[in-house]
Amino acid sequence: MERFLMDELVAWKDRPRRKPLVLNGARQVGKTWLLKEFGRTQFENVAYVNLDDNPRMREQFELGYDIPRIISAIQFETGEAVSEGTTLIVLDEIQACPKALTSLKYFREDAPGYAVAAAGSLLGITVHEGSGYPVGKVNTLDLYPLSFREFLVATGNRTLCNLVDAGDTDLINSFSSRLTPLLRQYYYVGGMPEAVSVFLDQGLLEDAREVQLEILRGYERDISKHLGRAETEYALAAWRSIPSHLGRENKKFVFSHIAKGARARNYQSGITWLTQAGITIPVRRISKPGIPLAPYADDTAFKLFLVDVGLLGAMAGLDKETVVGGSGIFEEFKGSLTEQYVCQQLVSDCGLTPYYWSAENSSGEIDFLVQNANSVYAIEVKAEENLRAKSLRAFKESHPKIKSVRFSLSGYREQDWMRNVPLYAMSNMGLWG
């Protein structure tokens, strides 16, 4: 299965002043597979250590940061000769051993010739006493579920992926009848690698759903494993409420929707955990669309999306006929799936941080605001071809310097005040204007 992040890994390998690499991402997004595949194709050998189930190697890091001793231990443990330039050292599940994370600083300072890649979540790393994140001593990359473009390649539609990338709007419009069904398929299957893989094996959507449900169960087990009893209860309640929040017309996360009388302070640590674990994407409200956007973000008002559209459908119990067949029986949630898709593509494929905007009087809302270089884009999302965009138009009139774009299933076209970009082509930011 091709992952586009491989190109960035190769670029990291070829850097003259390469630092140890930390590959972040939620569980089950394919970090381990990708690093092993990277090692297999780009190095002579791979020395792989999983720190989650290897107390002997965790002990080696606990003994201190003598890098020659640690390298010797890795050689004995893996049976692989470790050499500068020819061996990829992979430290998997590094969050299980905070001192292993700290050791990356010493790999950088004392043994910079070794290629070291760590995989894990930032979950819990920064809160361990006696250890610290090696700020400035590592390179970082983030891995997400397969984007829609990667899904196109995985399903044998590389030419359609190339078509989207090329940005020929006439051709893109001409092939909407092929791209739209694949997009709906992606809504159901999502981008979790195992779900995509089992779907490709037999072409059965049901197989993907079984994998999704198991991943969701695994996430809930992680919550119970890492948090205290009270925190677990609150985190699970917040987690399980996400589909119902996104199913509302106003998708803002409201604590009283979880339980009567619920207070933010009880749930905040749980939501922070979900975000640090990489399984949710918070989208904060912006009070003013200024450059940069970040200083105008309101931490008390946010929407909470999942890391993957397929997982959202699984949590909501949506069947394949409803999603893939384009059934009209779930109009409200169809919009939720579409916003989920747009949100994760903005993060994974476009490398942007999404926000949203709403008026103080609640009379208008913009689905997403993003900043790219010195431009701010106001984004409206439409699940089908209903192209009324009153809020976006009013926002554009009030903020004429803001660029406006609508993602929908309608074909590409330019208007005097906005561009309509097909949902299946939204990853090509050159089309946004």
Range of the domain at 95: 6-142
**Mean pLDDT over residues 26-34, rounded?**
95
Identify whether residues 153 and 94 lie together within a single domain.
no
pLDDT digits (tens, 9 = 90+) for 344-356: 999 999 999 999 9
Q: Are residues 351 and 369 in the same domain?
A: yes
Q: What is the model's pLDDT at position 389?
A: 65
Q: Of 96, 123, 142, at which residue does a domain stop? A: 142
pLDDT tens column, 380-409: 999 877 666 678 988 999 999 999 999 999
CB atoms within 10 A of CB 297: 19
Residues 126 and 225 in one domain: no
Q: How far is the CA of 413 from the CAs of 4, 162, 379, 395, 402, in angstroms?
A: 28, 20, 15, 20, 18
* Rounded CA Rg of the chain: 23
The arrangement of strands across the sheet holding 21-24 comes to 45-50, 87-92, 115-120, 21-24, 139-142
User: With bands split at pLDDT 50, 70 and 90, how would you rate the model's confidence at 331?
Assistant: low
Question: What is the edge-to-edge ordering of all strands in the sheet holding 365-372?
Answer: 297-306, 280-286, 355-358, 365-372, 375-381, 403-408, 419-422, 413-414
Of the residues 142, 159, 194, which one is the last residue of a structural domain?
Answer: 142
Residue 178 lies in a domain: yes
Read off the CATH number of the domain in which 12 is found: 3.40.50.300
- 332 and 388 share one domain: yes
pTM of full prediction above 0.75? yes
Residue 337 shares a structural domain with residue 356: yes
